[in-house]
Amino acid sequence: METVSGAAVITADGSGVELDLARMSVRELNQYLHSELPRSGVRHVSILHPNGMHSLAVGLDADVDVDILGHAGYFIAGMNKQARVTIHGSVGWSVAENIMSGVVRVKGNASECAAASGHGGLVIVEGNASSRCGISMKGCDIVVGGSVGHVSAFMAQAGRLVVCGDAGAGLGDSLYEAVIYVRGKIHGLGADAREEPLTDADTAGLSELLGRAGFGYSPSEFKRIGSARSLYHWNSEANQHY
């Protein structure tokens, strides 16, 4: 065992490290993850005592597994690249916002704006996600085991949002080219979102995504929601009614 960064304890074989937030600050944690970790050969990081703290494990760019052992706060694993981050609890606002690649898995629930603006990678919420899940997503994939709140996938540009439970009102409002799949009840579609038939490509993609996320549902249970593309061009005769 050796100690680095004050409170990081490396396991005997050098492949794993424990970082205890009861003994180090969030800034020290993230500085370690950004600067020392990529050079260290460490492949697995456990973060202890997150206690709802914000901005944990943001900006990672390393081929590493990170386990956050408890409930965490806002902006967890934001801007993630490569890393596979698992939160063993629930998270606050904007988990995995602007994710670029890698996998972020929330074992509990996620508050609003999960995976907001995500460009790539996969975000899995095993419980429910709150409002605005996948808002402005730009190419990431999101799989929610439970339900999502209102105005999810608002202005979503690319990528896939899979909801195994129900979806709140205003789903897919002002949708661009992202696609939404919902297994349960939809409490209302937003402007320009419409139900479309599932294609073979949808079924294959859903099957692969559900498999990666670890949910045993059949793709045929899902409805596909896409953009009617009627907002793409200004319609002067619509008189502001859409």
Partner 1 sequence: MCGIVGLMVKSAGDRGSLGPLMAPMFDCMADRGPDSAGLAVFGAAVDAPLRRFSLFVPDDAFDWPKLLDAFRRQTGQQAELNAAINHAVLVSAIEPAALRNWLAECDPSPHLLSVGRHIDVYKDMGHPSDISRRYGFASMSGTHCVGHTRMATESAVSPAHAHPFTAGENFCLVHNGSLSNPYMLRRKLESHGLHFETDNDTEAACRFIEWRMQQGQSLDEALQTAFKELDGFYTLLIATENQLTLVRDAFACKPAVVAETDQYVAISSEFRSLAHLPDVANANIFEPLPEEIYSWKL
Q: Judged by CB under 8 A, which of 92, 121, 159, 190 binds partner 1?
A: 92
- Across 26-83, the runs of DSSP E, i.e. the strands, are 44-48, 65-69
Q: How far is CA 37 from CA 46, 66, 148, 170, 201, in A?
A: 12, 11, 35, 42, 39
What are the Cα distances from residue 126, in Å, to 105, 225, 234? 8, 21, 39
Among 67, 97, 112, 126, binds partner 1 (CB under 8 A): 112
Size of residue set near partner 1 by CB under 8 A: 18
Does position 134 bind partner 1 by CB under 8 A?
A: no
Choices 36-44, 89-97, 198-206, 217-225 (CB under 8 A): range interacting with partner 1: 89-97
119 binds partner 1 (CB under 8 A): no
Does 149 bind partner 1 (CB under 8 A)? Our answer is yes
With CB under 8 A as the contact rule, the residue among 16, 38, 52, 146 that binds partner 1 is: 52
* Residue 62 vs 91, nearer CB to partner 1: 91
CA dihedral 76, 81, 85, 91 (to 10 degrees): 20
Question: Least distance in Å: CB of 131 to partner 1?
Answer: 6
Choice between 32 and 93, CB closer to partner 1: 93
Residue 73 binds partner 1, judged by CB under 8 A: yes
Estimate to the nearest angstrom the gap between the alpha carbon of 73 and the chain centroid. Answer: 14
Answer for the pair 69, 45: CB distance below 8 angstroms, yes or no: no
**Measured between alpha carbons, how far is 97 from 116 in angstroms, rounded to an integer?**
5
Rounded Cα gap, residues 155 and 206, in angstroms: 21
Identify which range of 94-102, 107-115, 133-141, 172-180 contacts partner 1 by CB under 8 A. Answer: 107-115
Contact indicator for 191, 172 with CB cutoff of 8 Å? no
Under the binding rule (CB under 8 A), the answer on residue 130 touching partner 1 is: yes
The phi and psi torsions of 32 (rounded to 5 degrees) equal -60, -45
Q: Are 111 and 131 in contact (CB under 8 A)?
A: no
Q: Which of 71, 88, 119, 187 binds partner 1 (CB under 8 A)?
A: 71
In the complex, the smallest distance separating the C-beta of residue 3 from partner 1, rounded to whole angstroms, is: 25
Q: Which residue in 138, 150, 183, 224 binds partner 1 (CB under 8 A)?
A: 150
Confirm or reject binding of residue 75 to partner 1 (CB under 8 A). Answer: no
Q: Answer yes or no whether residue 53 interacts with partner 1 by CB under 8 A.
A: yes
Q: Give start and end residues of each alpha helix (H) in the chain.
A: 26-31, 37-40, 200-213
109 is a contact residue toward partner 1 (CB under 8 A): yes
Look at the block and give the residue holding tokens 């799989």: 143
Q: Please identify which residue in 111, 117, 174, 227 interacts with partner 1, judged by CB under 8 A.
A: 111
Binding residues vs partner 1 (CB under 8 A): 51-54, 70-71, 73-74, 90, 92-93, 109, 111-112, 130-131, 149-150
